[in-house]
């Protein structure tokens, strides 16, 4: 399923947050959204996910959802959002409970996504027993369990330390390489954007407008941290954002 956004604009009260965003989100690709603090990245993600409606413009879903899809648009949040009183398998199974699936089918889905995220041996563990990186893998397994058409990822690695972030980026690349999924991935971190994004949308400071769209055609599995080609893309992104980011910080300071 593809998504297309046409002239999406939004304001909260008198604050204009997004302005004239037109974008296509292609099936089977990862689109990253970067931009200065407060430029409307999370707002845009909520609009794409249907949690809020834009004041102006349209967001249209084109084409069929994947076979077996239980929820077309699924979120992965920065804070993992796991229930502490449920085991790993219980947290993953939660999203299947409303779907009246036969128990064997449900168990098979849980086993499959836990295997894909290397969590099989932790299926009975409690969230408190897991590191941050493992918790986020559970959240990713939970998102995959509903076979979403599009995963909406809001700073999914931001709460993790640098080494864990690297490992989870490798996990995401391996997951995508085995079975390509469609994702919109909001991040502050340009290194993440160039490792994971097929396409990177750079927003201006608020109201967020599209400043540029950068395509990276290096296969995800061939992108190595600090590879010169990726560093060049990252530096180009920073050049695009630098003045805007400085102005956004100054605005926050002056407010
Ligand atoms: N529900 C809301 N009501 C009023 N204002 C809001 C609401 N949600 C967001 N905002 C404002 O809209 C602007 C954009 O917020 P948003 O969280 O989308 O930006 P962001 O780019 O994701 O920010 P950050 O990079 O800091 O995470 C901010 O000024 C924020 O205060």
List, for residues 55-100, the tens digit of each pLDDT value. 999 999 998 888 888 999 999 988 888 999 999 999 999 999 988 8
| Residue 20 maps to a domain | no
Give the total number of structural domains in the chain. 1
| Residue 92 maps to a domain | yes
Structural domain range at position 128: 82-148
List, for residues 211-230, the tens digit of each pLDDT value. 999 999 999 999 988 889 99
Query: CA separation (Å) from 207 to 45, 47, 185, 211, 238?
Result: 15, 15, 19, 11, 19
pLDDT at 254 over 80: no
When pLDDT is cut at 50, 70 and 90, the band that residue 255 belongs to is low
43 Cα to the center of ligand 1, angstroms: 6
255 Cα to the center of ligand 1, angstroms: 14
Report CA torsion sign: 126, 128, 134, 137.
Answer: positive
C-alpha radius of gyration, the chain, whole number = 18
What atom in ligand 1 is closest to the CA of residue 39? 21
| Residue 50 maps to a domain | no
| Residue 24 maps to a domain | no
**How far apart are alpha carbons 249 and 255 in whole angstroms?**
10
In contact, 119 and 134? CB cutoff 8 Å: yes
Question: Which protein residue's CA is at the shortest distance from atom 6 of ligand 1?
Answer: 12
Name beta bridge partners: 62. 2
pTM of the model: 0.93
Question: Which protein residue's CA is at the shortest distance from atom 14 of ligand 1?
Answer: 40
Q: What is the mean pLDDT of residues 183-194?
A: 95
Q: What is the mean pLDDT of residues 94-116?
A: 93
| Residue 142 maps to a domain | yes
CA 121 to chain centre: 26
Question: Which protein residue's CA is at the shortest distance from atom 18 of ligand 1?
Answer: 40
């Amino acid at each position: 399923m593809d998504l297309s956004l046409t002239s999406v604009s939004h304001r909260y009260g008198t604050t204009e947050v997004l302005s004239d965003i037109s974008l296509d989100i292609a099936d089977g690709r990862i689109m990253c959204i970067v931009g200065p603090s407060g430029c409307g990245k999370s707002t845009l993600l909520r609009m794409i996910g249907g949690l809020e409606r834009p004041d102006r413009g349209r967001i249209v879903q084109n084409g069929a959802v994947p076979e077996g899809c239980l929820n077309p648009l699924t979120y992965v949040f920065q804070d993992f959002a796991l229930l502490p009183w449920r085991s790993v398998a219980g947290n993953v199974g939660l999203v299947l409970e409303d779907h009246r699936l036969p128990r064997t089918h449900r168990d098979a889905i849980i086993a499959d996504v836990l295997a894909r995220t290397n969590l099989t041996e932790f299926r009975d563990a409690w969230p408190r027993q897991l590191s941050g990186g493992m918790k986020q893998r559970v959240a990713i397994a939970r998102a995959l369990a509903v076979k979403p058409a599009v995963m909406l990822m809001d700073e999914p690695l931001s709460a993790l330390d640098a080494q864990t972030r690297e490992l989870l980026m490798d996990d995401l690349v391996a997951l995508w390489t085995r079975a390509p999924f469609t994702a919109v991935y909001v991040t502050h971190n340009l290194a993440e954007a160039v490792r994971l994004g097929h396409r990177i949308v750079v927003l201006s400071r608020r109201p967020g407008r599209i400043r540029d769209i950068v395509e990276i055609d290096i296969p995800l599995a061939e992108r190595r941290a600090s590879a010169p080609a990726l560093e060049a893309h990252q530096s180009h992104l920073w050049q695009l954002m630098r003045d805007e980011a400085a102005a956004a910080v100054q605005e926050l300071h002056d407010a």
